[in-house]
Amino acid sequence: MSAWPLPESFASSSGTVRWNRLGPADGRPLVLLHGTPFSSYVWRTVARSLARDHRVFVWDMPGYGQSEMYAGQDVSLAAQGRVFTELLDHWGLAEPLVVAHDFGGAVALRAHLLHDAAYRALALVDPVALAPWGSPFFRLVREHAEVFEQLPAALHQALVREYVASTGGPGPHPAVLERLVEPWLGESGQPAFYRQIAQADQRYTDEIQDRYAGISVPTLICWGEEDAWIPVARGRELADRVPGARWEPIAHAGHLVQEDAPAELTAALLAFLGRLP
């Protein structure tokens, strides 16, 4: 992962988090949250663009990417929401701009609604936020995680590659796909992949989705129109639930909007941020 270094570390309640900061020290703070089964690597292009004018914080959640992975680790949405709150305190960020994708959307929402994390504004990109969620494959693996952990390494690698490639739209470039798969390989990566799926419980969004009507910060909801994992209709429903939310569908993009349409996504984010006082 040398092309995407995360040189800083933080000892969170769920293991060591690797992180980095880009952009001018006096820029408005902006935090990017990745989804599953990804890492902050998916934000690299957008992050570098936003860092021209913002102080951008990127991090890999515990159990993901370059952060710590270990047996028995709590990598649930509940744990990640707490960790994000801890990180904001560690960074000394009182009201950052927050941009969150997929599972990271639920993490940002939980931190805000349950742990009183204050944001200046919130942008959600194809977030996990409304029931039902989880593909048939995802549910199958969750129910039989211990069996899947025993797959031979080559079969496991092929399974993860096919899963990550199924996001819809153009999908990641083959070289990018290999980088996204890489953290889930080997002695620690393979069990970590199934661990995070086994702990993905819909109850963690069920307990907050009735609170979306109480979100008062400026909110943008972006959605890849060709998302094969979470239908675009779910995004429209979420936009209707959040008062005043700006709805921004992105054409010719699947679930990994950062890879399929980075320029369009960056333009949508900058336009949204530019309207803030």
Supply the pLDDT for residue 135: 76
**Residues for the chain: how many in total?**
277
Q: What is the pTM of this model?
A: 0.96
**Which pLDDT score, from 0 to 100, does residue 99 have?**
98
DSSP readout, 111-139?
Answer: HHHHS----SEEEEES---SSS---HHHH
1 band by pLDDT with thresholds 50, 70 and 90: very low
Query: pLDDT band at residue 76, thresholds of 50, 70 and 90?
Result: very high
Provide the pairing of β-strand 121-125 with 97-101: parallel
Q: Tens digit of pLDDT for each residue in 3-42? A: 899 999 999 999 999 999 999 999 999 999 999 999 999 9
Residue 277 pLDDT grade (very low, low, confident, very high; cuts 50, 70, 90):
confident
Please tell me the least confidently modeled range out of 12-21, 70-79, 133-142, 233-242: 133-142
Average per-residue pLDDT in the chain? 96
Residue 156, classed as helix, strand or coil, is: helix
Strands 28-33 and 15-22 turn out to be unpaired
CA torsion through residues 204, 251, 138, 191, sign: negative
Q: What is the pLDDT of residues 95-119, one digit of tens each?
A: 999 999 999 999 999 999 999 999 9
Q: Which band of pLDDT confidence, cut at 50, 70 and 90, is reported for residue 2?
A: low
